[in-house]
Structure 1
């Protein structure tokens, strides 16, 4: 009995000690554990059941704050003594689990990027209690359920990307309350219902709208045409949208492509604004559409009126009374039917004879034109065997009037090019650039110079020949050109990766930072291409307009220099304007104004060197300076169109000013890339090259050949 009593007292005392320790641990955790932001984040960690890359391994509840955890960024606010969590970024980490509602307790959260993971579950309405949210990037997961109406409370929201999930229900009307939205991507879900009306009138800052691959029904809201800041593609494809295409949709900017394919739209395609230059592929899969650019003619008297309201359709049965718009008429008798038939036959005969006459006349004119084109082709080959004399004795060759090719593997003709599906890629003072997809599947970039009236001239042909001789993997190749009085087309290789300007701007928003290895590779490729132009075998040339938008990227992010010799060609057109225009043309003044505007724009460009104000003609040292500024953009992660600081100083001045009084330049480098020691060393090596390129004195700037060699040596040892 005494043993049992002793054992009982021991167990009782042991339990008391455990309870006391538990109380002490709880008290200690309340005083010494992570703060409220950290506890909200830990709820996310506990909801994750698979973390293959151990991305959350350093999320420790005993840390005073979560600011040093992976994927977490903090900011010290005036209203709070301690730094607060403002960003949660863990994209492409393979995280499997759910998003807890406790994340809504992160009061100052501005950015949440969990794209391309394996997250499941629903979007809790509490998540939208974080009213300072600006970026919600949750695409590429397996989220389900609906979008809560509380999304409309986020008036500061800039980017909402929920694409590639399993979300259902309708798109909430409250999304139109997010007046600051720049990008709205809801593609590849299972949304139903109609597109909320008011997007065009309320979301006036919207630059990207992608609602493709859902189950949306109803008509296209007419106010979508009011989205004047759109870029890229307005994508409503692969839904069940019905009704007419609103003509107001043609008001979107000309550099925006429309994609309305695979819907249930019907009626004539509007011919206003953007529709006039839209290719046919944008309308495929809509069996009820007709008109240009589809090869389906619209009936003069459609069997079902395009705007027929319910209840106004005719029954069509013999002897039935037809009621249309309040008018009543009886079915026709035999005499009336015969009279109408005879009249129809007579009308068809007259129309047929008229058509035959017009066709024969057109055939005669075409044969005559082909004969003239053949002679022009031969004279072009010799730069005008029978030239006309222009002012000051200059000879003017006749128009080539045919597509001149520099590459044998490009076998398409001019007709193939003109019939291709075209999409506007960009528009500037030098014309419009299109992406053209030929019938065989070949994709090319076509620049329309937008210069009318300037006839073909021998010196113009010489400059085009120089452009066609450039063959280097890091220079965009000119494949062919067409030059006539009315139209000037330059056909280049198409680069699917966009340009460096777009890549730099995208890495500061939703897509995450551009990796250093990619940036270094882009710098090396651009340097090789520019060095080739400066010291190629057929001459030493100057680009004269190097900037990120002139550096194109292919699908592997390899850099290519674009628009070589384009400025000189345009300047030459300005010279040819002096008396060499087709009689009656008035485009010469427009050409001069464009040239003057572009020159003034360049002289105010942040890529111009200080010596540009003293010299009228660009030099290779100008190209070196501009390339140095681009290197600084790659290193700092700062895009020049954005404000650098309150003083808004240029990038070169900012780098010099920020690094004064410091033994290291590392504080001007992009902090998103300084994770590995060898990356920092490589960036500092590139920084030294960049600073030599932007030297004030032109003679102190190195040659592009030496720059390319120096960049080529960086990163070789670490990659082995």
Structure 2
């Protein structure tokens, strides 16, 4: 059988012989017979057409009987207000290809993904029959009832996403009580009505890296067993009724990045051991009943970027490092806490009062002489301290020697292997195995989001653009966070070992005006993905040329963008000794505050030399490429300065360099206008409609600088650092000019990276 449906249906022959015999002589009845005959043939044709179409739609994969019964029970328990589950037929045909929200492998269901579908009812306990299930995503519905205890019978379960529902009851201990449930990595039951205690059995989920039980009615204490989960990266228990003390054993969570215990009833002191979790980036303990002082050990958390202990009963002095790093909102609501702002100074210590000579010393004061036993004990203690110090020194030496040996092995040809238990670092972070295809590797650098390879590969993707090196996508993760992903073209990148060395160096580049590389993914079939921060305002090109007539861009904003681009380019040239090679307004992205970020930095380092030669020869969007680039086939800092000059001209004129005017490119057109002494014709009409008399000098000085940058001779062009210095001088004049108004103040010079 080839999978097609063959139908054998008896029906009258389309020949008219039989009917003519009975209708002969009656023209009216004969006409009716003709119409009936035609309708019958049309109906049969439609029947065959739809039968074959439906046969093609089904891929022929039959879901197992156990899985079909489980899905049937799920549908029976759900209340489908919107008819989302209409495709779940009673025969099971097409369950693996046509049923909404179902994914299968070899006839077994591996994923149920039905978020935001308005589903009500309950989750059937028969879900435990789906023995191959990896992902259960039913968040943002109106589901009632308890969390099914049968989830503990699913040995391959990796992610449970049931947040934003109306689930009640308690967390079933069976989720973690079975020894075969070892694959669970993410558990999110937040924003429900779950009560009871957090079961100690959760401590047996060895691979769990994200636990979110926030916004429920959970009571009890913080389970000591959670401290066993060294792979935990995120713990969110905020907005519950947890009490007792935060255990000191929490320091065992060596990979923890986010800890949120706010709005509970925790009491006692903040554990000093939290200061040993150096990977923490976010620590929220606000709105509890915590007492005592803020531990001085917290100053060791150099990666801490979000901190809140407000509205507790803390006292004492806030460590100066924390007071400088975080604003007063992180500490308010603690009446006896001081030193975190100018309005909460700490009282000066009272001077010690010495007894006056008239009081004299106590009459019966005595000094006890040290006995031989005391001297021996003191000597033994001192010797023990010395031995401990020597042991520590010896251990440190051994550790350094071992680290040096590893580094030597790597240089001599060892591959870069990322430990699964490694903490996120500036260069190499946690390696994650893809749930879709074994062999994929995801490596994180520092960044605000933590996600797995499965999350990345199952994200909703939208194409943003294509370039010489690959395709850029906007990816929306399961938690609604957005990242930008560039999929590099196949067969143009370096071998994996060289690629990982180069991309690790790019992951270290950090500057306010350079788009940060946050992670990369190596697929089992050679796929290579680069993950960046997503910039919501798009590119500078679209900002300038795709806006409506009602949207204007004042001169201070344009100048601020020009300075930001130059700062990022200057950092690349002077600190990283790197030329960009493809600078254009389409590669300049804008964040929420319209701060520019240079994209595609260092991509040429990841490509083969042959590809780079061709890419450089054709590099640069038309209109931005320096004259010498296509001849020398060699990107340089002076070529970058030429492209920077074109972008500044683009900001001044409002014209796109890719659109030639009278056969002249943008620099040539501007030069011809200036030569004819019609300089005012160069500038964007928006700028001239403003009070041009107040900004005229700034416009002219910036125009002269841009023309200097686009000089045909590379040697005549300034360095990027000189361009930055000149722009800052022009900017200072603009800010200091009283007539420039509020716009000038609003366009303050961005802070330079340390």
TM-score class normalised by the smaller sequence: 0.3 to 0.5
Question: TM-score, normalization: structure 1?
Answer: 0.44
Question: TM-score, normalization: structure 2?
Answer: 0.42
Q: Which has the larger radius of gyration?
A: 2
